Structure 1
Amino acid sequence: MTNASASTGPGSSLLGPADVRRLAAELDVRPTKKLGQNFVHDPNTVRRIVTAAELTADDVVLEVGPGLGSLTLALLPSCRALVAVEIDGKLAERLPVTAAERAPALADRLTVVHEDAMRVTAGSLPLAPTALVANLPYNVAVPVVLHLLAELPSLRTGLVMVQSEVADRMAAGPGSKVYGVPSVKLAWYADARRAGPVSRTVFWPVPNVDSALVAFTRHEQLSTVDKKVLFSLVDAAFAQRRKMLRGALAGWAGSAAAAERLLVEAGVDPAVRGEQLAVGDFIRIAEVASTR
């Protein structure tokens, strides 16, 4: 593997710090907190992400928030096609040009969709993506991942870079202090794990929080229970974390007594808290509730 200084020279495809700043200046783009923009400018980091994603030559990659194209350029050699969803019009327009300039032999693999990721559906994309690989905006990371898993059944794997604390929550298991709504909802779709830390120094501007990678693999559907019922149950269970489930679910079930009956029938101790239940426990409760 070539080193970063060698990889960012005139003949290279990857973007280094000077390239990122030059492109931003050319487009008059100033990273905004509103969009959660922090551009990666370290070639070794994007190489590491691509390696960790374990892509195959047949994969169709979905990248959300490609920005100036640092990760995009690293992904292009490792997949059959890349669909980049970008909400910023200037960035969406410039990305194909950057790919053509820096990776001309691979530029035809890239399709840019100017869209909000939270509005993406299978019908709005030109190809069915098999892998999500993205540096996600901090403020919408969990909703975006859950939305895409719900809307894109073709999506089998993912590797996303998110705020470190969010990564902990996404990958947490029952009993952990950070186990909560994101943990359970992601577990409904996929098996998730932390895949390593990312230094804040690889971003421009440098964020005031650390980042981490989360990898996930979709599993078979766990139940035919209505997802809306299940997710509303999960929301209720964690809305008042300190309460025992019989109390936390009182509003959701109609009363504390009704909640207790549901829990007992589902084989769950009414005196435990939501943070102690695995996704399978929540599914059993939702299934019992759905038969009432």
Structure 2
Amino acid sequence: MQPARRTERDRSRRVLSQNFLHAPDAIERIVRTARLGPGDLVVEAGAGRGALTRALAARSGRVLAYEIDPELGVALADACAPLANVTCLAEDFLAARAPAEPFALVANIPWALTARVVDWCLDARSLTSATLLTQLEYARKRTGDYGRWSRLTVLTWPSVRWQLAGRVPRSAFRPVPRVDAGILRLERRTAPLVAPALLPAYREMVELGFGGEGGSLYASLRRRYPRARLDAACRAARLAVDTPVGYVWPEQWLSLFRLLRHTRSN
């Protein structure tokens, strides 16, 4: 039996990871989670036909809606034509510069591009928050929902708060994807938990800790820090010495850094 032939449109959707959000209740949840105000600037990546765009426009000051697919770009422009506060951009969002003024990103992003979109958000210094629909598993891994914490989350925790803000069922999308989505919320902290001048040292410690020595954070840090001081720091941070690095809370990392940052190795 011959496999079903995909049309050009089907192939385009597959390449661009296009699963369009259509459920009104899911759209409302995302907009509510974004906590927008009437004067806020919002950037939307992968705006599609504008279902989310219209809801964002009703809750914010201005919306910059990016859509790289030419066919969808026409539909987006038509849908948003009556909205004076929406600018439709037929451009690659990932190649765009972040606005100079503070802005929020809200998007049902192409799932195949999740890591690149998140990196773009972390690099955008004027971004105040990002509310992203991602695969549920990705959102859970990045926010410690499995009880484990990723290197990226720990590295950026002093400046960015990561939160799993909810789940959206796969039935809310067309075409229906294979898995549910998660609402991933990133918030840039107004007061970083580590002074900017100390962030390179904090990140160096995190990279050392995730270096894979013996499987535990203690074993990795022992390569640089004196045993007595490290033992005392782990006790103060309520951290067992055999704890695998992925199970160390961001708050424990911060405690260890503060306790160890003046320590010199043997």
- Tell me by how many angstroms 1:80 deviates: 0.5
2:192 paired residue number = 221
- The answer (yes or no) to whether the contact 2:44–2:105 under 8 Å persists in 1 is yes
From 88, 107, 111, the equivalent of 1:134 is: 107
From 230, 245, 256, the equivalent of 1:274 is: 245
From 164, 173, 186, the equivalent of 2:136 is: 164
- Tell me by how many angstroms 1:49 deviates: 1.8
Superposed CA offset, 1:121-150 (max 9, x none): 33xx4x635222111222332442342133
Where 1:217 maps in the other structure, the secondary structure is strand
TM-aligned CA distance change 1:61 to 1:230, over 3 Å = same
Q: Match of 2:50, as an amino acid?
A: G
- Tell me by how many angstroms 1:90 deviates: 4.0
TM-aligned CA distance change 1:112 to 1:235, over 3 Å = farther
Q: Match of 2:147, as an amino acid?
A: K
From 4, 26, 40, the equivalent of 1:45 is: 26
Q: Does 1:80 align with 2:61?
A: yes
Q: Match of 2:87, as an amino acid?
A: T
Correspondence 1:26-45 to 2 at 5 A: 28=9, 30-45=11-26
- Tell me by how many angstroms 1:207 deviates: 0.7
Percent identical pairs in the alignment equals 27
| Structure 2 portions without partners, runs of 5+ | 1-6
- The answer (yes or no) to whether the contact 1:38–1:206 under 8 Å persists in 2 is yes
2:4 paired residue number = none
Q: Using the alignment, how far apart are the partners of 1:262 and 1:74 within structure 2?
A: 57
- The answer (yes or no) to whether the contact 1:66–1:86 under 8 Å persists in 2 is yes
Q: Does 1:144 align with 2:117?
A: yes
The TM-score, its normalising length taken from structure 2, stands at: 0.75
Q: Match of 1:199, as an amino acid?
A: P
2:85 paired residue number = 109
The TM-score, its normalising length taken from structure 1, stands at: 0.69
1:55 paired residue number = 36
Q: Using the alignment, how far apart are the partners of 2:10 and 2:60 within structure 1?
A: 29
| Structure 1 portions without partners, runs of 5+ | 1-24, 250-255
Which structure has the highest helix share of the two? Answer: 1
